[in-house]
Amino acid sequence: MDQEASFLLALNEEQLRAATHNPSSTLQILAGPGSGKTRVLTSRIAHLILNCHIPPSAICAVTFTNKAANEMRERLTKLLGKTRVSQLKMGTFHSLCARFLRKFAKLVDIPDNFTVCDAGESKKIITALLKTREKDLKARGLSLEPGQCASLISKAKSRCLSAQDYLEEAKAHMHSKTSSADIPSSLETVVGEVYVQYEATLRRNSALDFDDLLIYGVKLFSGHPLTVSWCQHILVDEFQDTNITQYELMRSIAESARCITIVGDPDQSIYGWRAAEVENLAKMRRDFPNTAQVFLEENYRSTASILDASLEIVSQDTKRINKSLYTAHPDGISPVLYQVQKEQEEAAFIAIEIKRLVAQMGGSFRWGDFAILLRYNALSRNLESALQREGIPHRILGGRRFFERLEVKDVLAYLQLVDNPAFSPAFLRVINVPGRGIGEKTLLEIQQRAEKAEKSPLQLLEGIFDMRLPDNKPSIRKKITTFVQVMRKLQKSAKEGMGPSDLISQLLDLVQYEDHLRKTQPDWETRWENVKELITFAKEVEEQNLRDAATREASADVSSLDVEMSPLRQFLQVSMLSSAGDNDTEESSQEKVTITTCHSAKGLEWPVVMIPSVDASTYPFIRSEDEDEERRLLYVACTRAKALLYLTRSTTRMVAGDQKARGLSKFIQAIMENCATQNKMPLFRQHVPHLELEDRAIICNVLQRPEPVESEVEGMVEGFRRLGREHPPQILWTPAGQPLNPVQATWPFAPSLAHAASASNPIHSLPLPTFGRPVVPHLARSSATSARSIAPCDESRSSALPSYREPTTQPLPPVTVVPASSFSSHTLRKEPSPASFQPASSRPSKPIFSSTEETSTLNMTNAARSGTRTPQSKRAFDLAVARPPVAQDRSKVFQPSGNASISRRPLTGQLPTPPLVKDNSTPKPLAAPTPPPPSTNTVAATAPQGVKRRLGMAPRAAGGYSNKKFKAPTL
DNA sequence: CCGCAGCGCGTTTTT
DNA sequence: CGCGCTGCGG
């Protein structure tokens, strides 16, 4: 092992074993959440290159998302340097296949200018195909939705079944009278026929859909072994989410070397709906009998109480193979369950709580430390409103939403057509954009004529334009003139090598796209912004390409993949295969609360995670067929949290315009009941944690951050208190069932409409001191207690601690409604609120859209609408109701020195006796109630501004926490 | 061909 | 409630 191998020293025993396992064999790394699998994967790659002397270009690393690929690339660059990393074959299955297919298109009989067809376009094609069968189906009493049909075809492709295979399978079903689980066999035949036509359509259009990229990849690699002979080792991340085709792909790439490393966790398998096969883990061991397994069971991410609760969720699955997972981290704050009556209250709770936590952590949390994880995107509505109202900067990692917007798709369609004139989905999209008086009828005629002449629609129009072909009776030549001219101009520019960003600019100019938006779209301004955003994106891609080309040149990488691609084609491919959030590594995103789905949160982590809508219709999701997968999904979401985890729900949900009652998610209900009947300490606490010095110490310890200075905490807490925010009244879970009585008190959300509207004045938000680099006396202690610095100690791992349980919880009293927190116990007044304050610059540039594509509009007005002002004192809430004697928080285990007592113990749900239990059940107000300040200026003035701090030592590098650019969030 | 009004429907997850 | 689709009139 040479001296470059210092990276291996950072690994624990198991990680090291995984990273350095015999490179010429197959290996499965089964890694629980937060067990450092990315680190192991990158270390293994570095090991292969530095110690085993495998050339980087002979290594293939596959990730599930582009984001994961980018992160891995970043980490590897630190270990290996740019040059070597650029030579790695790295990316998602889809992007890798696309790159190889461009280069070797001829070998699998496709044109090299193929267009990647997105799901929307696929669906449109299928809709059109189904339309011709509508009557036939109806006559036979059958019905087939385009979406359903598309998904069946996609699933077939995910199993590596061609249209013919599928039809045969359908036939077999018919004869044996065994119908497939999804549909009756009579429909299956229809789907098979549509599948045949769909394939033909794609080929005619020189298009591949997402699944085709994989299928043709398999064809290429298995039919032409020379195209993968470079591969000496392939590594696959998130293996539990691969489907059969991806497995075949992996196998064909590994065909000659047979050296494979995979990382996976069956507990985190959440893509079954997309035909992922957890079975692949077993299949791999059958196909490669010498496959070794390494288990990574130590969690470095979360506090013990978060891990405990998460495991309690996932282990409800009786079929699950029990796996151990432990942490050396302290218990920390137990996960919070907070239930309210209305969805708006739930959103408001989250927004207020984020602010409260920021204050209580005295600037050690920034907005980017918070994530709100949703079951589906549409749940973001209320949250956006609430966050906007509170002036909390946030971003929606809506996945690919950006590339699905009308204006973005329009522009892309033009460019697709430039690159691939045969691609009629793009033609159909833009032929009448901007309006050229070409409607359904004209279009139909064009399509029919094109079909007859065996030409693409664009070719036909060019013929008519050049008068090589006759015009139609009502002339269409006039209508299409500008269109053809535009296309020709763009094609010429593209041929001359013009980059995509300039091409877009030229296009926008030629078709007067801004005018078109202004005329047709009510929210044309944001849409125009998006178009400009696309140009920026294009520029970034261009620059990246140039950089890559430069490093490639320097390294004389012969086996490189992307050399021959035109910048336009490159850009289109990246656009189709990446989601908006992928390249979102900008610092700006660090300053924003992240809202995203549980699915796309996979592999990510945040100090604070909040999961709303933990109700019976969402977890498991009503329409989901696989309850176990839903449970795992919640598990994945919970295990994203490092220090604090919140589950919230409202007892009613708006469905179809009116409120419907909804119960607590059964996954959580079961846990609550369990704890109650077994008289166990609840795994979820039902009041918001009041963070004390020791809590901050533990949190900062887990996050490997310096602790805040107490004066800072006091200042920010006071600032928060002055905002007068209160948590909406809580509905307590009780063992007997709930809720007893709905809350009668109306709960007006603090900022009035008037304030929300006049929010242009940002003064009312407190400009709090920025956070320098404090000297942190606890730092040494923090690192001493941090998990990583504890030497692996095997006996403690296996030895079960005495299953001792302290009878802690008194049966809960029949209180159902609890007022808000007792933190802001003064009257709500004309307190200037930061309601909806958000400087234009910090507003998300990718606008907040509703879940549906294209026609969605910015929905800011709703936020303002929902608050009704009730200038009544909320004091009653604070004073009248005593804190319920909720169970003591076992997280409050600490030693007077502030040194958290840390035991390395398996998480069994049974607790060792705490040496000292601090009762947190009657939190005191942070400060005596004071009358609200008379004016905004006072607020600003009283804020402790400009407190200068000494610069201290830099935080531990391992923590990855740099407060160089860090500004304390402004409340 | 385009814009508007009315109606019915229904809210997943992603490369 | 908001979206998309349909049918009608300019």
Residues 6+ apart with CB under 8 A from A342: A650, A652, A659, A728, A747
* Residue type present at position A834: P
Chain Cα centroid distance, residue A685: 27
Amino acid A908: pLDDT: 35
- Answer yes or no: is A850 CB < 7 A from strand C: yes
- Answer yes or no: is A555 CB < 7 A from strand C: no
Residues 6+ apart with CB under 8 A from A722: A766, A831, A932, A933, A939, A942
> CA A37, CA A495: separation in Å to the nearest integer?
45
Name the nucleotide nearest A147; use CA and C1'.
B12
Q: How confident is the model at residue A971 (pLDDT cuts 50, 70, 90)?
A: low
For residues A268 and A607, is the Cβ–Cβ distance under 8 A? no
Q: Verify whether residue A165 is a known catalytic residue.
A: no
pLDDT one-digit tens code per residue, A53-98: 999 999 999 999 988 999 999 999 999 998 899 999 999 999 999 9
**Single pTM value for the model:** 0.78
Q: Which two tokens stand for residue A712?
A: 């800072």
Q: Considering only residues A175 and A854, tell me which one the structure prediction assigns the higher pLDDT.
A: A175
Could you say which DSSP state residue A943 is in?
S
Q: Is the pLDDT of residue A314 over 50?
A: yes
Grouping H, G, I as helix, E, B as strand and the rest as coil, residue A395 is strand
Q: How confident is the model at residue A184 (pLDDT cuts 50, 70, 90)?
A: confident
- Answer yes or no: is A659 CB < 7 A from strand C: no
From the list A65, A232, A268, A303, the catalytic residue is: A268
> CA A574, CA A559: separation in Å to the nearest integer?
20
Give the closest residue to A706 by CA, choosing from A694, A717, A696, A695.
Answer: A696
Number of alpha carbons in the 13 Å side-chain half-sphere of residue A462: 15
Amino acid A438: pLDDT: 87
Chain Cα centroid distance, residue A921: 35
For residues A758 and A836, is the Cβ–Cβ distance under 8 A? no
From the list A38, A669, A857, A942, the catalytic residue is: A38
> CA A644, CA A335: separation in Å to the nearest integer?
6
Amino acid A26: pLDDT: 96
Q: Annotated binding residues of A, as ranges? A: 31-38
From the list A118, A209, A211, A237, the catalytic residue is: A237
Positions in chain B where some atom is under 7 Å from a protein CB: 1-3, 9-15
Name the nucleotide nearest A444; use CA and C1'.
B1
Name the nucleotide nearest A859; use CA and C1'.
C2
pLDDT one-digit tens code per residue, A389-427: 999 999 888 756 788 888 999 999 999 999 999 999 999
Amino acid A517: pLDDT: 87
- Answer yes or no: is A127 CB < 7 A from strand C: no
Report the pLDDT averaged over residues A891-915.
32
Q: Verify whether residue A419 is a known catalytic residue.
A: no
Amino acid A219: pLDDT: 97
Q: Verify whether residue A542 is a known catalytic residue.
A: no
> CA A717, CA A731: separation in Å to the nearest integer?
25
Could you say which DSSP state residue A363 is in?
T
How many angstroms is C1' of C5 away from CA of A480?
28
Scored b (16 or more CB within 10 A) or e, A131-149 reads eebeeeeeeeeeebebebb
Q: What is the edge-to-edge ordering of all strands in the sheet holding A89-92?
A: A89-92, A59-63, A233-236, A260-264, A26-31, A292-296
Q: Which two tokens stand for residue A30?
A: 């089964």
- Answer yes or no: is A853 CB < 7 A from strand C: yes
Q: What is the CA radius of gyration of chain A?
A: 30
The residue written with tokens 């009510």 in the block is A522
How many angstroms is C1' of B5 away from CA of A835?
36
Amino acid A923: pLDDT: 37
Name the nucleotide nearest A657; use CA and C1'.
C1
Around Cβ A82, how many Cβ atoms within 10 Å?
16
Name the nucleotide nearest A437; use CA and C1'.
B1
- As a three-state string, the secondary structure of A890-924 is CCCEECCCCCECCCCEECCCCCCCCCCECCCCCCC
Q: Which two tokens stand for residue A562?
A: 């992307």
Tell me what percent of the residues of chain A surpass a pLDDT of 70: 72
pLDDT one-digit tens code per residue, A534-555: 999 999 999 988 888 887 777 6
Q: Considering only residues A301 and A404, tell me which one the structure prediction assigns the higher pLDDT.
A: A301
- Answer yes or no: is A535 CB < 7 A from strand C: no
How many angstroms is C1' of C9 away from CA of A519?
21
Counting every residue written for chain A, the total comes to: 971
Query: Which protein residue lies nearest to nucleotide B12, measured between its Cα and the C1' atom?
Result: A376
Q: Verify whether residue A639 is a known catalytic residue.
A: no
Q: How confident is the model at residue A698 (pLDDT cuts 50, 70, 90)?
A: very high
Name the nucleotide nearest A856; use CA and C1'.
C3
pLDDT one-digit tens code per residue, A419-467: 999 999 999 999 988 888 888 888 888 888 998 999 999 999 999 999 9
Residues 6+ apart with CB under 8 A from A285: A28, A291
- Mean of all residue pLDDT scores within chain A: 76
The residue written with tokens 């029949």 in the block is A814
Q: How confident is the model at residue A782 (pLDDT cuts 50, 70, 90)?
A: very low
- Answer yes or no: is A131 CB < 7 A from strand C: no
Q: Beta-strand (E) ranges in A516-640?
A: 593-597, 606-611
From the list A14, A118, A212, A238, the catalytic residue is: A238
Q: How confident is the model at residue A844 (pLDDT cuts 50, 70, 90)?
A: very low
Positions in chain C where some atom is under 7 Å from a protein CB: 1-4
> CA A966, CA A332: separation in Å to the nearest integer?
25
Name the nucleotide nearest A443; use CA and C1'.
B1
Ranked by mean pLDDT, the top range of A571-585, A700-714, A797-811 is A700-714
Q: Verify whether residue A237 is a known catalytic residue.
A: yes
Burial of A193 (0-12, 13-18, 19+ CB in 10 A): middle
For residues A568 and A494, is the Cβ–Cβ distance under 8 A? yes
How many angstroms is C1' of B9 away from CA of A367?
38
Give the closest residue to A310 by CA, choosing from A37, A39, A32.
Answer: A32
How many angstroms is C1' of B12 away from CA of A517?
31
How many angstroms is C1' of C5 away from CA of A855?
13
Grouping H, G, I as helix, E, B as strand and the rest as coil, residue A818 is strand
Q: Verify whether residue A124 is a known catalytic residue.
A: no
How many angstroms is C1' of C10 away from CA of A474?
21
How many angstroms is C1' of B10 away from CA of A399?
22
- Answer yes or no: is A880 CB < 7 A from strand C: no
How many angstroms is C1' of B8 away from CA of A335?
42
Q: Is the pLDDT of residue A766 over 70?
A: no
Name the nucleotide nearest A862; use CA and C1'.
C1
How many angstroms is C1' of B12 away from CA of A621?
8
Query: Which protein residue lies nearest to nucleotide C4, measured between its Cα and the C1' atom?
Result: A855
- Answer yes or no: is A854 CB < 7 A from strand C: yes
How many angstroms is C1' of C4 away from CA of A383?
24
Name the nucleotide nearest A582; use CA and C1'.
B15
Q: How confident is the model at residue A802 (pLDDT cuts 50, 70, 90)?
A: very low
Query: Which protein residue lies nearest to nucleotide B3, measured between its Cα and the C1' atom?
Result: A520
Q: Annotated binding residues of A for ATP, as ranges? A: 31-38
Name the nucleotide nearest A623; use CA and C1'.
B12
Grouping H, G, I as helix, E, B as strand and the rest as coil, residue A856 is coil
Amino acid A769: pLDDT: 26
For strand A606-611 and strand A641-650, is the pairing parallel, antiparallel, or unpaired?
parallel
Amino acid A557: pLDDT: 58
Strand C proximal residues, A:598-657, Cβ < 7 Å = 654, 656-657
Chain Cα centroid distance, residue A22: 34
Residue A396, beta-bridge partner list: A595
How many angstroms is C1' of B13 away from CA of A149?
18
| Backbone φ, ψ for residue A894 (5° rounding) | -155, 165
Strand C proximal residues, A:225-254, Cβ < 7 Å = none
Query: Which protein residue lies nearest to nucleotide B13, measured between its Cα and the C1' atom?
Result: A599
Sign of CA dihedral A935, A939, A942, A945: negative
Q: How confident is the model at residue A780 (pLDDT cuts 50, 70, 90)?
A: very low
* Residue type present at position A789: S
Percent helix, strand, coil in chain A (nearest 5)? Answer: 50, 10, 40
- Helix (H) or strand (E) holding A340, with range, is strand A336-340
From the list A14, A15, A28, A37, the catalytic residue is: A37
Q: Is the pLDDT of residue A589 over 70?
A: no
> CA A970, CA A758: separation in Å to the nearest integer?
19
Amino acid A573: pLDDT: 94
